[in-house]
Amino acid sequence: MKKKSAIIAENSLIIAMMTKLELEKSGINVVGTVNNYDDFIKIYNKYQPSLIFIDIHLEGMYKGINTIQKISHSGNSDIIFLLTYYNNQVQQKLKDIQGYQYLKKPFDDVEIQSLLSQYFPIEKGFKKEVKASISQQS
C-alpha cells in the first residue's frame, strides 16, 4: 500500500488550508503547504510525498506545470493540478505530463474525497461520511 502523504503547493491560503483539512481528515500526512517553487522543491526532495496537489499557476521561478516537469523523473508521486478552468489551452500545456488528475477551483470535500478514493482504499467511516454529504446536497 502507498504511504499516505501529500504536499500542497497553492497560491491561495484559503484553498491550501481547506485542502489540508480534508487530507488530514482522510488520514493523509500533509508534509508541507507552500506557495512557491523554491519551498516546494525543498519539501518535495526531503519527503517524496505520494501525492502532489499543485496550483497550475504556482508563484516563483517556475509555474506549476514547469515544476512538475522538473521533478517528473525523480519520484513516484501522483499529481493533482488545482485549476480555475480546464480548456483546450490548459489541456495542451498538460499534454506531456503523464497520469495527472485535476480539481477545478472552487472544489468541495466530496470532490477531494472522491479523488482520494482512487489512490487509497476507502475506510469504513469515510464511506458513510461521503454518502451523508451527498445526501445533504440533494
Fold exhibited by the domain 5-137? Rossmann fold (3.40.50)
Q: Higher-confidence residue: 126 or 33?
A: 33
Where are the domains positioned within the chain? 5-137
Dump pLDDT digits (tens) for 95-109: 878 778 899 998 999
Distance CA 17, CA 86 (A): 22
Task: Look at the pTM and tell me if it is higher than 0.85.
Answer: no
Dump pLDDT digits (tens) for 18-43: 999 999 999 999 999 999 999 999 99
Residue 44 has pLDDT above 60, yes or no: yes
Report CA 135 to chain centroid distance, whole Å. 25
Distance CA 91, CA 113 (A): 24
